[in-house]
Amino acid sequence: MRGDLIEQFLDAESITSMDNLVAANEETAALDCAKNIARQLGAEEPYTKIADRSSDGEKKLISSFHKNLVLLIQKTWVEKSDEELKAQVLYHLEEFCKLMNAQSYTASYAPFFSIVDDVVYLMFGSQSKSKDFSEYALRIDPEFGIFWWYLQSLPRDARWSESKSRLVILLGMYFLANY
């Protein structure tokens, strides 16, 4: 999502940070960009602690992410036809958390998007698949809209280093664990 609407919610530095995050080859540069985006979500300090490999923040985040998403998925009312999707998402969430706990970040990258896409579908229904969903998300809940912009700005087929994949996934996880 590019254009005037996102610029109403984010400063130019954050938009540039997103582009730089995608292009970054070094962990330090990727971390700086991710922290700037986290700042826009009001999460720079906690994200910085989670990203610090010497803390137990990542392990706590994985646990919190798992618990909160399980609750969100279980509490989301869906049509009978989507009950099977709920069960699949819960299974994929379990598998994803195992990968994250094993520090298999590049292997976790694609499943993370799949889980988020499915959870957002369960929450918003077919509207989440519409071309104007990004705009809708920004207007109904700017914080969620910025998160969605973040996810939509990331390449789905990236082949990044373990450390860069880790930083990108942790930022998305932090938002969802605290949504």
Report whether 137 contacts 148 (CB < 8 A).
yes
pLDDT tens profile 107-138: 999 999 999 999 999 999 999 999 999 999 99
Tell me which residue has tokens 């087929």: 157
Average pLDDT in the 81-103 region?
A: 95
- pLDDT tens figures, 98-109: 999 999 999 999
Distance of CA 127 to the CA centre of its chain: 19
Cβ proximity of 138 and 119 under 8 Å: no
Q: Diameter of the chain by CA atoms?
A: 46
A 10 A CB-CB count for 5 gives 15
Q: What pLDDT band is residue 2 in, cutting at 50, 70 and 90?
A: very low
CA distance 107 to 110: 7
Indicate whether 3 pLDDT > 60: no
pLDDT in tens, 136-156: 999 999 999 999 999 999 999
Q: Say whether pLDDT at 178 is over 90.
A: no
Instruction: Tell which wins on pLDDT, 157 or 3.
Output: 157
Mean of pLDDT over the chain: 93
Q: What are the structure tokens assigned to 31, written together?
A: 């971390």
